[in-house]
Structure 1
Amino acid sequence: MSKRSNCSSARTPSAPKRPRTSPPQEQQDDQPPPRPYPRLQAARFPPEIRTPPHVLKQVDIFLMTDDEAVMEAAKTGDVAWLRGLVEDVNDEIVTDALVEASGHGHAECVEVLMDEFALEEERLPYICWKRALNAIEAAATNGHLEVVKVLLCRVSPGSDTSRKAELYGTVRHALSLVAEGGHLDLVKLTVQHARSSNDDRRVYGSSALARAISAGEKVVVEYLLGVAELSWDLDNALVAAVDVEDIPLADRMYKLYVKTHEKEKLFTSLACCGKLKALKYLYQTGHRDPDLTSETFVEASERTYRGTDVLDFLLSTGLVSSEAFDKGFQRAVAFSLDDVNVIAYLLDKKRATPVSINKAFVAARTCAVVNFLLEHKDIREESIRAAFERAMRSLSEFYPRGKEEYVQIIKLLYAKDCIPAKIIGEAFVIAATKGHSELVTLLRCNDRISARMVNEAFVAATKRGTSDIMMSLYGTNISPDTILIAFSTAITHERIGNVKELAKLLSDANRVPQEFKHKAFVIAGQYGYNTVLPTFCESDDDFMPLAILKEALAVAKRDEVRNVIRKVICDQLFDPKCPWSR
């Protein structure tokens, strides 16, 4: 059980340890105390107090809160002081102090702080668990063997699988840190910890070997290579050996790699990761297969953010086929964002065929790339149409990734004569449906947008949660039939704001024949929109026909709706101006 069951009621962290008073003004000095004591920066002391450092140190300690004192004790390794304070602070301060003590190598303080928790309990607050893991890394970073030993023994995830995974990740990282730092004893301790747990996942794929090679820690490297039952990150170990120009060691890494992996995968993997020196090493040691080089070129072309060095090397071998170049070019275009440098580089090679250039144009995902290809290459009209349609379809997806780029592509291409009016209209409706108001405004000005398209977009816009686009499309070319269809659509999609706006439009007798308002009244009653019904009856000289009221009453399913309709009937029945009440 945790010993900190009442930690939530601990003293307020900022409360002072004891009351204190300032000296009289005449005893204060004009000069501030030395900088090592930040709590005393605003204080003024006479020379006899300001001069002796031990006096200032005691005053500084006196002014500390319990939280600050715990952190100071953990930092300085004062076990007795820490033990007397630790019960008065909350969990987070204890775990902060644990990280501080671990980083400074105070194993006894770590023991005291660990005693405050049963860290194997799953009830331990997550923030405290994370700081316990931070403590392991802090101790490993600074090479504190005894502290790491304590923490590895006592920090346990219990049966929590997610915490197990986090602990494994921490141990892997800690092993990498101590290997890079050349702390052989700590490396052995961490490896032994993994062995004793019978679970090599604690260090599986660790970068410890690679980091030890990079740091020139040859003793650590040989020890890790001797631990045959554990798996290291051999890809990066090979890269590290090549980078430090230790070719015999690189040869050893390569031989170890091919025992358990396909050597072809290593060549492609290094190219995709931009490891040019290691890639050249593999090429020089026998990886000169045209098929492998071509396949690697295609895969590496996707990583346009890595620049052109790897692609340049692969092309310099003369082993990249024309088919592979075309595929690679298409991949580069498809995966490029705003950076067109790689595309420009490949085009300068003058190996991309017109067919591949046009295919790549259709597959481009950003406006910058589309515009670049338009400016530098002869793009066919059918490819421009296909690119426009692809952007339009992508924009119509429920949650399209990069939707702003698709909007920009449509803006770039919509004015092209090769885009049919029908496709422009579809894009217009999609823009209204998806709420791209700027695109709606732009496309509406195109002379290929017909009145039918505007009416269709008006209905589509009613499906949205706001009425701004819908109302921006409303004009003389919106027919009463369209308004009624839009009203039904808004009701079906439960867009109450749009329903109310459309009810007002249908009630405008100057533009809409009243039969459409009557139909809408019945529809609203049928679907239970009782709050909308009074909108249709607001005019003083326009009365709802009794037949319509009876029809609405007959189809209404809810009592609240029926009551509203009955009230309308009663109000009109007793209104002397109502034609059917006489």
Structure 2
Amino acid sequence: MRGRSLFIGLAESGHIDAVKYLYNSEWDDPGLVGRAFASAACGAEMQVVKFLIATDRVSSEAFDKAFKLACSGYQTFNVVALLYCLKRVSQQGIDRAFAVAHDVAVVKLLYENEKISDHAVTVAFTRSLNSLNQHLIPSEIIQFLHKLPCIPSSLIDEAFVRAAQGQKTDTIEVLRDDSHLTSKAKGDAFVDAFKCQGVEIMKELYEEKCTPPSSGCFPSKSTCHGNICTRLSLLQHDTDKWRSWKLFMRNNRRNCVLNDALDVAGANAK
């Protein structure tokens, strides 16, 4: 058991010479090779991956597992592309790999060349939105998938709010024009930005140019104000934060939507 772990660990770390030596020393059991292959794919160790593929001892099950692990990794696109081009991944394996992908390049590769199930698309979107409030996690997958018809409006709303929490202005710019986005979600996002003192996000959410009265896919200002004011009224107990933001907005007359929202919310809470 200890020796097997060594072989798998060497494969994952990319020690190609050691892997070759052990393999040629009768460490060639298909089960062991399959696990080592999956570990190498996860670690994006291209030389080891190519060597183990050439042994012809990687089962279909092990190949699917390796492909899924590679798709779920970071900076593993080259390995994903190599494995995909070999045309050995099952349709079920492709769906499972798509659902766990972290790289939008992987998502695009599979979506544009395969028939991905609605379930896999929804799972991929959900997994990605769970990372939106982490500043260093990219959000391109959300931006790529949000227009697909299988994505429910509830997930669009949740993604929009989490994008505001994570200060993802690029994602907010994309999602705010989505016809499925509700005014409630915009109100929630605005209040979360208010609580976190996300000035730029607040501006991004409710600049006048983003809420034209004639827009058919974006709620009117009055609707936006109603949702914002209802939520902001609940924050009146935080006197210090409220005063600091009122002062900021008074010095930022460029954005009348923000000023009006704070005015009405303050009046409603009295």
TM-score clears 0.5: yes
Equivalent residue letter for 1:280 = K
Answer whether contact 1:487 1:499 (CA < 8 A) is retained.
Answer: no
Q: Secondary structure at the match of 1:372?
A: helix
Deviation track 1:276-310 (CA, whole Å, cap 9, x = no partner) reads 23322222222122221121112111121x32x21
Instruction: Specify the alignment match of 2:150 in structure 1.
Output: 418
Matched, 1:264 2:4: yes
Tell me by how many angstroms 1:470 deviates. 2.6
Instruction: Specify the alignment match of 1:327 in structure 2.
Output: 65
Tell me by how many angstroms 1:388 deviates. 0.9
Equivalent residue letter for 1:355 = Q
Partner Cα separation in structure 1 for residue 101 and residue 183 of structure 2: 32
Structure 1 residue corresponding to 2:245, chosen from 498, 515, 520: 498
Partner Cα separation in structure 1 for residue 228 and residue 128 of structure 2: 28
Deviation track 1:59-96 (CA, whole Å, cap 9, x = no partner) reads xxxxxxxxxxxxxxxxxxxxxxxxxxxxxxxxxxxxxx
Matched, 1:374 2:139: no
Instruction: Specify the alignment match of 1:483 in structure 2.
Output: 229
Tell me by how many angstroms 1:493 deviates. 9.3
Answer whether contact 1:361 1:383 (CA < 8 A) is retained.
Answer: yes
Deviation track 1:146-171 (CA, whole Å, cap 9, x = no partner) reads xxxxxxxxxxxxxxxxxxxxxxxxxx
Answer whether contact 1:433 1:463 (CA < 8 A) is retained.
Answer: no
Tell me by how many angstroms 1:265 deviates. 2.9
Tell me by how many angstroms 1:481 deviates. 6.2
Answer whether contact 1:432 1:461 (CA < 8 A) is retained.
Answer: yes
Q: Secondary structure at the match of 1:447?
A: coil
Unpaired runs of 5+ in structure 1?
1-260, 522-582
Q: CA separation of 1:354/1:498 partners in 2, compared to 1, >3 Å: closer, same or farther?
A: farther
Tell me by how many angstroms 1:322 deviates. 1.7
Q: Secondary structure at the match of 2:151?
A: coil
Q: CA separation of 1:318/1:449 partners in 2, compared to 1, >3 Å: closer, same or farther?
A: same
Answer whether contact 2:33 2:52 (CA < 8 A) is retained.
Answer: yes
Deviation track 1:516-572 (CA, whole Å, cap 9, x = no partner) reads 654434xxxxxxxxxxxxxxxxxxxxxxxxxxxxxxxxxxxxxxxxxxxxxxxxxxx
Matched, 1:296 2:36: yes
Q: Secondary structure at the match of 2:223?
A: coil
Instruction: Specify the alignment match of 2:269 in structure 1.
Output: 520
Q: Secondary structure at the match of 2:31?
A: helix
Partner Cα separation in structure 1 for residue 149 and residue 237 of structure 2: 39
Q: CA separation of 1:485/1:285 partners in 2, compared to 1, >3 Å: closer, same or farther?
A: closer
Answer whether contact 1:362 1:386 (CA < 8 A) is retained.
Answer: yes
Equivalent residue letter for 2:41 = S
TM-score by length of 1: 0.39
Q: Secondary structure at the match of 1:311?
A: helix
> Which has more radius of gyration?
1
Answer whether contact 2:246 2:262 (CA < 8 A) is retained.
Answer: no
Tell me by how many angstroms 1:381 deviates. 1.8
Tell me by how many angstroms 1:401 deviates. 6.8
Instruction: Specify the alignment match of 2:124 in structure 1.
Output: 387
Tell me by how many angstroms 1:341 deviates. 2.0
Equivalent residue letter for 2:95 = N
Deviation track 1:33-80 (CA, whole Å, cap 9, x = no partner) reads xxxxxxxxxxxxxxxxxxxxxxxxxxxxxxxxxxxxxxxxxxxxxxxx
Tell me by how many angstroms 1:450 deviates. 2.5
Deviation track 1:408-450 (CA, whole Å, cap 9, x = no partner) reads 1111111112111121111112222322223223211111122
Equivalent residue letter for 1:390 = R
Q: Secondary structure at the match of 2:120?
A: helix
Partner Cα separation in structure 1 for residue 24 and residue 180 of structure 2: 61
Deviation track 1:324-360 (CA, whole Å, cap 9, x = no partner) reads 11111111111142x5221121112222111111111
Instruction: Specify the alignment match of 1:461 in structure 2.
Output: 193
How many equivalent pairs are there?
247
Identity %: 31
TM-score by length of 2: 0.79
Partner Cα separation in structure 1 for residue 150 and residue 73 of structure 2: 26
Greater RCO, 1 or 2 (C-alpha within 8 Å, sep 6+): 2
Partner Cα separation in structure 1 for residue 204 and residue 66 of structure 2: 45
TM alignment of 1:218-367, pairs within 5 A = 262-304=2-44, 306-307=45-46, 309-337=47-75, 340-367=77-104
Partner Cα separation in structure 2 for residue 506 and residue 334 of structure 1: 42
Deviation track 1:358-406 (CA, whole Å, cap 9, x = no partner) reads 111111112222222222322222211111111111113xxx3742x2x
Q: CA separation of 1:489/1:273 partners in 2, compared to 1, >3 Å: closer, same or farther?
A: same
Unpaired runs of 5+ in structure 2?
207-220, 251-257
Partner Cα separation in structure 2 for residue 373 and residue 481 of structure 1: 39
Answer whether contact 2:41 2:67 (CA < 8 A) is retained.
Answer: yes
Q: CA separation of 1:275/1:482 partners in 2, compared to 1, >3 Å: closer, same or farther?
A: closer
Answer whether contact 2:233 2:266 (CA < 8 A) is retained.
Answer: no
Q: Secondary structure at the match of 1:495?
A: helix
Q: CA separation of 1:492/1:353 partners in 2, compared to 1, >3 Å: closer, same or farther?
A: farther
Partner Cα separation in structure 2 for residue 277 and residue 468 of structure 1: 53
Equivalent residue letter for 2:235 = T
Tell me by how many angstroms 1:487 deviates. 4.0
Q: CA separation of 1:433/1:491 partners in 2, compared to 1, >3 Å: closer, same or farther?
A: farther
Partner Cα separation in structure 1 for residue 52 and residue 102 of structure 2: 26
Q: CA separation of 1:294/1:493 partners in 2, compared to 1, >3 Å: closer, same or farther?
A: farther
